[in-house]
Amino acid sequence: MSPGTGAALRLLAATVDAKAVAEIGTGTGVSGIHLLHGMRPDGVLTTVDPEPERQQFARQAFRAAGFASNRARFIPGRALDVLPRLADSGYDLVFCDGDRLECLDYLAESLRLLRPGGLVVFEGVFADGRTVDSGPQPAEVGRLRELLRAVRESPDLVPSLLPVGDGLLCAVKR
C-alpha cells in the first residue's frame, strides 16, 4: 500500500467518524493500521481474511503500532462466508481489498453492512492501468470495470474515484 493510499484511508475513516469498520483482506495489517489511526479512539476494526497467518502477523503489527488488542477483531475465513454474519447497518466504513473476482459481491454485502452516510472503499481499481486499457484483459479487470459501472450507476451511492496508489473507489451510501 502506498503512503498516499494509507493517508487517504486514515482521512476517510476520520471523515465518517468511524467507530465500526469492516476490512475485507487483512494482508499484513498496513491498511488496518491506517484505518485505526483515522477511527475514533473507541473504534473497532473487524478484519476478515482466509489466511490465519496473515491475521497473526497483522495482530503483531497492530500491537507494535500501539493499538490495544480490543481495537481489532480478527475473523478467519472467506469474506463471502463471513460477511453475511455481520450486523446490518452496523458499520461506518467497509474497506474492500480482497479477491477482485468477488468485488461485486463485496459491494452488495457492503450496502447491507453500512449505515446511511457510511462509506465503502475499494482498493486497486486501476489494476495497474488495465481498467482503462482497451486491449483484452483478465477476468479480474472485467469485474473491476463492472464494479466501477455498478457504483457509478447506483442511485444508492455517491461515488468518487481517488487517484492515489492503484486507485481508490469510494462511495457514500445514501
Cell reading at 98: 480482497
Residue 77 φ/ψ region, left for φ over 0, alpha for ψ in the -120 to 50 degree band, beta for the rest: left
pLDDT confidence bin for 106, thresholds 50/70/90: very high
Q: What is the reported pLDDT for 63?
A: 97
Q: Which domain holds residue 162?
A: 1-171
Higher pLDDT, 13 or 140: 13
How far apart are alpha carbons 110 and 121 in whole angstroms? 9
Among residues 149, 150, 172, 146, which one has the least CA distance to residue 159?
Answer: 172
How many domains does one find in the chain?
A: 1
Describe the crossing of helices 52-64 and 30-38 by its angle, rounded to 10 degrees. 50
CATH code for the domain of 81: 3.40.50.150
